Structure 1
Amino acid sequence: MVRIRRGAWTAALLAVTVTGSLMTGCTSGGGRADDGRGRTPSPSDTGNGLSNAGSVLAVKIDNVPEARPQTGLDAADVVYAEQVEGGLSRLMAIFASTLPKAVGPVRSARESDLEVLRQFHEPTLAFSGAQRRLLPLIDSAPLNPEPPGKVSDAWYRGAGKAAPHNLYLRPQRLVGSAPGDTALTTGFRFGAAPAGGTPETSRTVRFPSARFTFTWSADRDRWLVAMDGTPTVTTDGTSVAPATVVIQYVKVRTSKYHDVLGNNTPYTESVGSGTAKVLRDGRSYDANWTRPEAADGTRFTTPDGAPMNFAKGQVWVVFAKA
């Protein structure tokens, strides 16, 4: 399949402002010229309206109280939790093994997302928009940006929530089918738990204005997620319950970007090295992480240097300030 460099599209991306009811309440997003068939072509267009083949789908998901319950979050292979403006948090869900019928609410992208996504081969990033000065970086990144308006029938406004917390994506209309777990080039290893560890029934990770609590359920062999003290369930009532939780301690610094209220956008550095806590099988394990280059996956090891295996199933990675 022939892939086209996205740099040539930058002017068009910046020039287009998506209007209408679909974009009500969203931050600014890019767009490309209509191809005459009611849709806009993707840089990796296959000719059938689908934006990727063999690559993961990453979706930015809102998780402030007004956005809950979310849709499709339980189907993700990996969920990243990062700090954003005002000490709040936002999620980025990675889909490879399966695609739910809908995902959302979808919100805007951040600069840190581009570094996290470098470990995948030309992933598709679905997002509601971005800070205008960030759009050229998104356009030049090795990914397929998909804001609303490019594939219009892939997006819709849901009932029951006010904008901007009601924008949803139909993944199959955007990317067709799931690429399979071989597209998960995260560097994660799955297998038997290492020796040792400490029994753990609950662990809370705090951001300045948000918190995540993971509680072990022996009946389900999973960690039940709560955000800001409220159990995390999807719109169909399914509990979000990863098999492995990684609390990855990273440097969180200020960036050159701000939101409309003037709050600085934190930048989470996911390249480098540091320590982590890995929760699996009702136990907590000390671990080290390393990711020498942005294009590398993240390698987790035990303190003695052996590979740190994860339990098979959904993985949550919470980027906590070191």
Structure 2
Amino acid sequence: MSDLSTVRDRSRTREARRGSTTGALLAAAIAATLLAGCTWTGTDSDDGKGQGDGRRDDRISAPPMGSVLAVKIDNVSPARPQTGLDAADIVYAEQVEGGLSRLMAVYATRFPEAVGPVRSARESDLELLRQFDEPTLAFSGAQGKLLPLIDRAPLHAKTPEDADDAYFRSDEKPAPHNLYLRPGELMDSAPGADALTTGFRHGPAPSGGTPEDSRTVRYPAARFTFTWSDDSRRWQVSMDGRPTVTTDDVRVAPATVVVQYVKIRESRFHDYLGNNTPYTETVGSGRAEVLRDGRVFEAGWERKTATDGTDFTTTGGEPMNFAEGQVWVVYAADRS
């Protein structure tokens, strides 16, 4: 089975030879390596024991052209470094059981060769993804009581049981933190920026704002820190006190960071230890902080219905522009 060390080593070589006539041949070699001998070896769930996973027969069968790809990504320490996180157009960070965090990476403009580690879905994901037109959700599984809701959701749910050729296990991390997705095996091509129906606007920064070198968002058992880099004009990400660097040695650094204050309540679901699964409400309105260009801007947010994107406005009521590039949205509990 091909593993991430092969992907990483060859990716570094390709970067060194970028612009040469051998670049295309090297990319093809990487793709061939990923395809060779990588098959799905079993079910996966949040406890790593296969609990709650099940095959579903009534899913939408094939992702349509124009569908974004959303991937649930593990974010505990044994899962790091992650793969393909830097290629996402949007990264959503949410609180899960035990005060830990999990990521949802959304891909529309380009697909990386591999993404992961892939983990399980949550009820909140279904509401969040309604803003996209029949999105494809790649995840490792879900508890049994949540599966009927996923079945009825207007999305293309793709677990290893649905698309085993698109998933592989790496031997560099222990299960369940070693499941990876090859997006190119799941979907023909990236749909393009028009598929990002989030309501986000890009353009010049508004006037005002407060200079900001670093901003930290804390969950009960996790934290995100975004540090401004004048050199790269990006916010360098650190998680739980460690720089976020992919398996390709790329520092993850979005152009815009949104700290969106939302209601986080208990859901009807629990994990296998009995911990309640938090539900993050992304429909409604509230306050936000938008970090871009080394400044923080106070903002408001509104999402009227689940099928709408989220509108962000300045304190003066004008549309809030984001910087061009990757966007991170970190959902923080609104305690007001």
TM-score (ref. length: structure 2): 0.85
Is 1:292 equivalent to 2:292 in the alignment? no
Q: Structure 1 counterpart of 2:308, which letter?
A: D
For 1:16, the equivalent position in structure 2 comes to: none
Q: Give 1:253's match in structure 2, choosing from 265, 287, 297.
A: 265
Instruction: Give, in angstroms, the shift of residue 44 of structure 1.
Output: 4.1
Aligned to 2:6: none
In structure 1, the residue matched to 2:162 is: 150
The structure 2 residue matched to 1:162, chosen from 153, 174, 178, is: 174
For 2:132 and 2:73, how far apart are their aligned partners in 1?
19
2:137 equivalent to 1:113: no
Match of residue 41, structure 2, among 21, 28, 46: 21
Q: What is the distance in 1 between the residues matched to 2:116 and 2:151?
A: 22
**Distance in 1 between residues matched to 2:51 and 2:87, nearest whole Å:** 26
1:309 is aligned to 2:321 = yes
The answer for the alignment partner of 1:3 in structure 2 is none
Which has the higher mean CA deviation after the structures are superposed, 118-127 or 150-159? 150-159
Give the stretch that moved more between structures: 20-29 or 124-133: 20-29
Q: How far is 1:32 from its partner?
A: 4.6
SS in 2 for 1:86: helix
Match of 1:134 among 146, 149, 153: 146
1:30·1:147 contact (CA, 8 Å) conserved in 2?
A: no
Q: Secondary structure at the match of 2:184?
A: helix
Alignment partner of 2:225 out of 193, 213, 217: 213
Opposite residue 79 of structure 1, the aligned amino acid is V
Distance 2:51 2:210 in 1: 44
Q: Deviation of residue 241 (structure 1)? A: 0.4
Q: 1:27–1:108: 8 Å Cα contact kept in structure 2?
A: no
Q: Any idea what SS the aligned residue of 1:249 has?
A: strand
Matches within 5 A, 1:266-281: 266-281=278-293
Which whole-Å CA distance do the structure 2 matches of 1:169 and 1:192 have between them? 35
SS in structure 1 of the partner of residue 70 of structure 2: strand
Given the superposition, is the C-alpha separation of residues 176 and 27 from structure 1 closer, same or farther in structure 2, using an over 3 Å criterion? farther
Are residue 91 (structure 1) and residue 103 (structure 2) matched? yes
State the secondary structure of the residue aligned to 2:325. Answer: coil
The answer for unaligned runs of 5 or more in structure 1 is: 1-19, 34-40, 46-50
Shift in CA distance, 244/27, structure 1 to aligned 2, threshold 3 Å: farther
TM-aligned CA deviation for residue 88 of structure 1 = 0.2
Distance in 1 (alpha carbons) for counterparts of 2:272 and 2:193: 38
> How far apart, CA to CA, are the structure 2 residues paired with 1:234 and 1:119?
28
Give, in angstroms, the shift of residue 150 of structure 1: 1.3
**Partner in structure 2 of residue 237 of structure 1:** 249
Report how far residue 23 of structure 1 moved: 2.1
| Cα distance per residue 1:205-263 (max 9 Å; x no partner) | 00000000000000000000000001001001000000000000000000110000000
Q: Distance in 1 between matches of 2:258 and 2:161?
A: 35
- Match 1:174 to one of 174, 183, 186: 186
Gaps of 5+ in 2: 1-39
Shift of residue 66 of structure 1? Answer: 0.2
Deviation at 1:42, TM superposition (A): 6.0
Paired AA for residue 122 in structure 2: R
* RMSD of aligned alpha carbons: 1.3
Q: Is 1:43 aligned to 2:60, yes or no?
A: yes
User: Which runs of structure 1 show a deviation greater than 4 angstroms over 4 or more consecutive aligned residues?
Assistant: none
The match for 1:37 is: none
Identity %: 68
Which residue of the partner structure matches residue 135 of structure 2? 123
Cα distance, 1:30 vs structure 2: 3.8
Partners of 2:79 and 2:173 within 8 A in 1: yes
Q: Is the 8 A contact 2:59 2:151 kept in 1?
A: no
Query: Which amino acid is the alignment partner of residue 265 of structure 2?
Result: R
- Give the TM-score normalised by the residue count of structure 1: 0.88
1:156-190, CA deviations, whole angstroms, 9 ceiling, x for partnerless residues?
Answer: 00121000000000001001110001000000000
User: What is the alpha-carbon distance in structure 2 between the residues aligned to residue 124 and residue 77 of structure 1?
Assistant: 15
Map of 2:55 onto structure 1? 31
Deviations 1:3-35 (A, max 9, x none): xxxxxxxxxxxxxxxxx83325255334356xx
Distance, in Å, in 2 between the alignment partners of 1:121 and 1:146 is 16
On the 8 A contact 1:27/1:128 being kept in 2, the answer is no
8 Å CA contact retained: 1:123, 1:143? yes
